[in-house]
Amino acid sequence: MNLDFSCVWQYWPFLYHGALTTLKMTGICLVLGFLLGVLLSLIKISNCKPLVWFGRFYTSIFRGTPLLVQLCIVHFGLPQLIGVTLTTTQSGILTFSLNSAAYISEIFRGGIMGVDKGQYEAAMSLGVSYRDMMKDIVLPQAVKHVLPSLVNEAIALLKESSILSYIGAVELLRAADQITVLTFRFFEPYLVIALIYYVMVMILSAVASRLERWVNRSDRVS
């Protein structure tokens, strides 16, 4: 077996910029998906039937179709309808945020439903408004309950960002593809980006584990 990693290291700027793009896309999409997912979860537990049906339909669409197909519809199909060409970054952020929101909404819906009903009754008996009750009582507890699931969604989003290479976005996988074209070496570039993905996932998992321990410790102290 003849391995030569020097052919990869001489093109390290490709990997560096690809990793930055991957992290940037993951962070932006996770924040947008989180905000939209929380809103969607509140829609699903509302008393307005049309909104509940919309929330369920939205979730079924994005959970029931492949992410790559969704990306192709947004990047190649949507410009045909609106007459505006989207950049790879814009298409990626839009697709991943909408997709992530569907999963996060289900995570949060389960977390909200898991909060003791006695807390709702106590808040209502004290005259707390529904908005304040959700903002100050229910949602903070739901976040603590669903934190591990949110971390799993972040990890999945980080790894799924590799499909952006399909539309030409220069993230890690695309960077490795460029190196293979220049060096005619395949095993080394793909092994290196696999290790980079692994390291990023491990760091994210360690940070999340530390955050979870801090949350649990604060609960015991209070």
Alpha helices in the chain (DSSP H): 6-9, 12-44, 49-64, 67-72, 78-82, 88-113, 117-125, 130-133, 139-160, 172-183, 187-221
What's the average pLDDT block by block, 10 residues per block, for the chain (222 residues)?
Answer: 82 92 93 94 90 94 95 94 90 95 92 78 77 78 81 92 90 92 91 95 87 68 54
- Give the per-residue pLDDT at 219: 59
- Give the per-residue pLDDT at 151: 87
Dihedral angle, C-alpha 8, 14, 16, 18, nearest 10 °? -120
- Give the per-residue pLDDT at 221: 53
Tokens 């760091």 belong to 203
- Give the per-residue pLDDT at 141: 79
- Give the per-residue pLDDT at 126: 76
Q: Say how far apart CA 78 and CA 100 lie, in whole Å.
A: 19
Dihedral angle, C-alpha 8, 10, 15, 17, nearest 10 °? -170
- Give the per-residue pLDDT at 218: 59
Global model pTM greater than 0.85: yes
Q: How many CB atoms lie within 10 A of CB 118?
A: 8
First-to-last CA distance in the chain? 59
DSSP three-state, residue 67: helix
Show the domains of the chain with their CATH numbers.
13-221 (1.10.3720.10)
